[in-house]
Chains A and B, each alone.
Chain A
Amino acid sequence: MSTNSQLGNRKLIIGGFFCLIVVIYLCRLFYIQVIDPQYKLDAEKNAFRYMTEYPVRGYIYDRKGKLLVFNAPSYDLMVIPRETKGCDTMGVCEVLQITKQDYLKRMKKACQAPNSPRKESIFEKQMSAQTYAALQEKLYRFKGFFVQKRTVRRYPKPIAAHLLGYVGEIGKEQAEKDVYYKEGDYIGITGLERSYEDVLRGKKGTQIAITDVHNKIIGRYMDGKYDTLAIAGKALYCTIDRDLQEYGEKLMQGKKGAIVAIEPSTGEILCLVSGPSYDPNLLVGGKERSKNFTKLYYDSLNRPLFNRALTAMYPPGSIFKLIDALIAQNDGLINRNTVYPCQMGYPPMGGKPKCHAHGGGKNLTGSIAASCNSYYSYVFREIVDQRKYPHFIDGYNHWRDVVKTFGPGTRLGTDLPYDKPGNVPSVEYYNKVFGKNGWRSNTIVSLGIGQAELTLVPLQMANVVAIIANRGYYFTPHSIKGVGIDKKLDNRFKVKHYVAVQDQTAYLNVIDGMQGAMEPGGTAFTNRLKDIVVCGKTGTAQNPHGDDHAVFLAFAPRENPKIAIACIVENAGFGNTWSAPIVTLMIEKYLKGKTERPEVEKRMLEGDLITKNNKKDALKIKHH
């Protein structure tokens, strides 16, 4: 026993060693269980499958409650490659009408990154109803396949494609930036679908399923306690008048250009036509979608995807004289009785800009009705060179600042995406072009008649006429009356924006002149309406690339105006020939619900300027 007593302390060493190991283990356990969160995250990734329930996208109605956009069910065939053991492969091929090679190719794609054989991926996108019906009967034989229900957009009338925009698969980068989306989700890409994506999309629902190590679904996590239901998107009540929009698109058939109509008292956009347009049903999912998109995208002659109403910047031409007349009166430079000479052109510059025969010098109202170029060259100079300003550059900046309050050169801030600001050239720009001190008011006098570098988009043109109809203010043009059942509208569309001209006599004189344009001696006399007092203004915008663009804007009726509208038809020549008939037909249609000038209507509907111009271009190329 002597040895035992000698070695007695070894029991303590052994016991201490055991305890030490256990303490080390407990520290380690404390670290991985309590401190390090990584394992909890990994565990969720392991065992939960988040299944998405897609919400129904909000419908879109027009201002009278007529349907513009609804949803149709669509079915994607999904596959989890690992679970396809024992699947009736030939059956799948038969139903989808694909070859075995196709099947294997798709299956390979579903197995490769970023897909995975353990995870679901799309095998066939948006099957037709017939395919779906045929498939459903046999689905039990197709192991590893299942159907994911989604919805696609449908349009009862093939109109308003540019305004409504389209929905498409989200881009990879965007999906990474925005946590709401994941790859393969749909998102509004243009138009209202884009602007109101947040309210239209609703909210995705999630079901949390528990999966085992084979990724097989075992059941619902906590019996669905943490599942969320999909919330349908809110309906959108549009300011568009479906009938007016449809009629406008018909009138613009075969023409390039745009029609924009605004209700002056609210700033609501009544129609937004861009020609040529396309059937929005072409761009809803499915196999056809990308084919159609490519076709539209590469149609360089017509550029149907190009929304001219918001993004095409046109020189305004003579319609700009209205703004000059207002500014000059407001500055006290001219009055109703001011007369300027006209000798088929602007005398100080040797007859440039040119003018047309309208019977000599006119007073203010007459100059508007007859659209005298000389008159507004004088007016422009009066404004720029007025005595108040020591230097003409200050005068020019004054003119430019006032013009900008009417919209040109600024984004209007409408609720539609991608609107362009147009252009009112700056002093710096001219200094660069002509050199400092290298230019005078007369150098740029064609600005006064809406030419040169001055450009507006059609929406801005319509807004200008709305300002005149309102005599000095506008509401930011917008295309939505309200969102959801309570029709909530953004407060920014309820704010009156006053322009820099508030002289009511000035407006009265200009409106008289516009009314005069529709009367004998006026530029648009041939398009006058019998029982509606229309105040209009023609414009002919010179176009360096070809024939002039025909512009016309108008509001009606004169008292308590209901519609302010602008129309531009590319390469159509004089404003009264194409644009004025279209505008007056639209006014008739909107105010009376019908048109009473069948011969004008027929000429407009049948006029195919695109084919005509294309032929002309082809001929030109031959001559060269």
Chain B
Amino acid sequence: MARNENSVFYGVDRVTLIVYVLLVIMGWLNIYAAVYDEEHQNIFDTTQKYGKQLIWIGGAAVIAFSVLLIDANFYTAFSYGFYGFFLAMNILVLFLGKEIKGSHSWFRFGSAGIQPAEFMKFATGLALAKFLSNQNIIINQQFRLRLKDLIKNYKNTVFALLFIVVPLILIIKLQNETGLAIVFIAFIIVLYREGLSVGFLIFGILTAILFVMALVVTSISGLLITLAVISASAFLFINRSRKNLILVVIVFIAACGVVLTTNYVYNHLEDHQKVRIDVLLGRGTVDLKKEGYNVNQAKIAIGSGGFLGKGYLQGTQTKYDFVPEQDTDFIFCTVGEEWGFVGSTVVIFLELFLILRVIFLAERQRSDFSRIYGYGVASVLFFHLAVNIGMTIGLMPVIGIPLPFFSYGGSSLWSFTILLFIFIKLDSNRLLILR
């Protein structure tokens, strides 16, 4: 890259850039393979999705360039501005947007569309970075039961969580886009890096485990008794003080609460969400022709790839439309079928490498803002990677979120590009100033 300090590319991390370009190109080739049919063989044919994706890619290049062009101070200064702006857009879309398949998340421009929720990710990342870097918040590791201490200790945590929860609820409840909303959970990792008590994470993980167990285990009372036994036996290992007693009792009551409300929560899910959970957990009978179709076909496509794959454009399962959504959320099926285990590993490693690279870069920042934002980028990317690939191989419920830089779609490619390149820009300035 350019050595010139005035160059747009001054200080830009080349490794990240190269991996980004590789992923985008590989994604495009796989979209071509997924949509490919004999009649439209020209990869530049803009009536086809791969042709359109090329336009999106061109747009992404322009966006990336623009992001690098803007002064890094702009992002720090207008962090809350971005957040507020896109929050407003996400509310506006409820009234101005078109309803597509029950979701209110799209602004349509002719045949193309933009989802403001996609851009909420980087805005949240910026706002969170701003908030956490300004406040000397973090968080006393000491656990005290006094209300005054609790407020003092956790006030900032609650504020930080609000940055995450507000868009999440807005998108999930009003726009009806579970997949897009659930991504915001990834920011918890940022909070953890910045000092969020491990207790929160353990609490969250336990809640998830209990939720799953309450759905899988048929005997709820048995589960409650088990919980009681575990809680009681906790005294064998910890100091039998009054404080700990209260703590254990609270945890036990909370756990029972989770178990007992599980069915209530489950019953209030949308039908398709229930089905997706059922498919993942193998509850009841799953009809492979109906509710189990997506995941089963995805697994067939990936599984039939074998070790080396069937070769580029040779995949029968994806090429002939057995896998639904194979150019967007299920793009990994094309990789699995045509490139096999080797290709899948390469793609996953590239994505992981990019994420770890971002963490590595984040840790070398002198500015808290840049570091926190970097963790936001890494967390969001990893969440997409884990959920997207997890659902195609039957380890996660089907949640419609794209594979970063790979899946077809303008909104997702552009938003990931902005997300990543703001960080690249911040990183390129790391030696200049201390923010």
A binding-site residues for B, Cβ under 8 Å: 3-4, 6-7, 10-11, 14-15, 18-19, 21-22, 24-26, 28-30, 32-34, 36, 38-40, 42-44, 46-48, 210-214, 218-219
Contact = CB atoms under 8 A, between A and B. Distances in A.
B348 interface: yes
B108 interface: no
Contacts of B320: 47, 210-213, 218
Nearest to B303: A39
A193 B131 CA distance: 89
A34 B307 contact: yes
20 contacts: A3-B136, A3-B138, A11-B193, A11-B363, A15-B356, A18-B356, A25-B348, A25-B393, A26-B345, A29-B341, A32-B299, A39-B300, A40-B304, A43-B301, A46-B317, A46-B322, A48-B316, A213-B322, A214-B321, A218-B320
A40 B194 CA distance: 46
Contacts of A36: 303
Interface size class on chain B is 35 or more
A511 to B, nearest CB: 75
Interface stretch (B1-9, B58-66, B99-107, B382-390): B382-390
A7 B321 CA distance: 48
Contacts of A39: 299-300, 302-304
A5 to B, nearest CB: 12
A15 B302 contact: no
Nearest to A36: B303
B336 A43 contact: no
Given A22-B352, A28-B395, A213-B321, A43 B193 contact: no
B359 interface: yes
A264 B340 CA distance: 69
Contacts of A18: 352, 355-356, 378, 382
A4 B306 contact: no
B81 interface: no
Interface string B311-334: 000001100111000000000000
Contact of B344 (A21, A29, A48, A211): A29
Contact of B395 (A3, A4, A15, A25): A25
B19 to A, nearest CB: 15
Given A34-B341, A39-B299, A10 B193 contact: yes
B300 A33 contact: no
Contacts of B345: 26, 29
A15 B299 CA distance: 28
A25 B302 contact: no
Nearest to A25: B389
Contacts of B138: 3, 7
A40 B305 CA distance: 8
Nearest to B381: A18
Contacts of B305: 33
A303 B11 CA distance: 101
Nearest to A43: B304
Contact of B393 (A4, A22, A28, A43): A28
B390 A25 contact: yes
B192 interface: yes
A211 to B, nearest CB: 7
A18 B378 CA distance: 10
Contact of A219 (B38, B306, B348): B38
Contacts of A48: 316
Contact of A32 (B195, B349, B393): B393
B216 to A, nearest CB: 19
A33 B306 contact: yes
A383 B399 CA distance: 95
Nearest to A2: B136
Nearest to A48: B316
A18 B349 CA distance: 11
Nearest to A24: B395
Contact of B194 (A7, A15, A32, A47): A7
Given A22-B352, A29-B302, 19 more contacts: A3-B138, A10-B193, A14-B192, A14-B359, A18-B355, A18-B378, A25-B348, A26-B345, A28-B394, A28-B395, A29-B345, A33-B340, A34-B306, A39-B303, A39-B304, A43-B301, A46-B316, A211-B320, A212-B320
A6 B141 CA distance: 11
Nearest to A1: B368
A287 to B, nearest CB: 36
B43 interface: no
Contacts of A47: 316-317, 320, 322
Nearest to B389: A25
A608 to B, nearest CB: 64
Given A18-B382, A21-B386, A46-B316, A7 B195 contact: yes
B193 to A, nearest CB: 5
B197 to A, nearest CB: 11
B89 interface: no
Interface string B132-143: 000010100000
B189 interface: yes
A32 B340 CA distance: 10
Nearest to B189: A14
A212 B371 CA distance: 49
B336 A33 contact: yes
Contacts of A32: 299, 302-303, 393
The 10 closest A-B pairs by CB, nearest first: A39-B303, A43-B304, A212-B320, A47-B316, A32-B303, A33-B341, A213-B321, A42-B300, A40-B304, A39-B300
Of A3, A10, A33, A40, most B-chain CB atoms within 10 Å: A33
Contacts of A30: 341
A4 B322 contact: no
A33 B321 contact: no
A38 B394 CA distance: 15
A39 B304 CA distance: 5
A11 B393 contact: no
Interface string B38-71: 1000000000000000000000000000000000
B193 A42 contact: no
B302 A33 contact: yes
A544 B307 CA distance: 77
A196 B80 CA distance: 88
A46 B300 contact: yes
Could you say which of B305, B307, B337 has the most chain A C-beta atoms within 10 Å of its C-beta?
B305
Contact of B352 (A19, A43, A214, A219): A19
A48 B363 CA distance: 52
A21 B304 CA distance: 23
Nearest to B342: A33
A43 B394 CA distance: 17
Contact of A210 (B300, B303, B316, B371): B316
Interface in B161-209: 189, 192-195
B316 A40 contact: no
A520 to B, nearest CB: 87
Contacts of B300: 39, 42-43, 46
Contacts of A213: 320-322
A42 B304 contact: yes
Contacts of A4: 368, 371
A534 B412 CA distance: 102
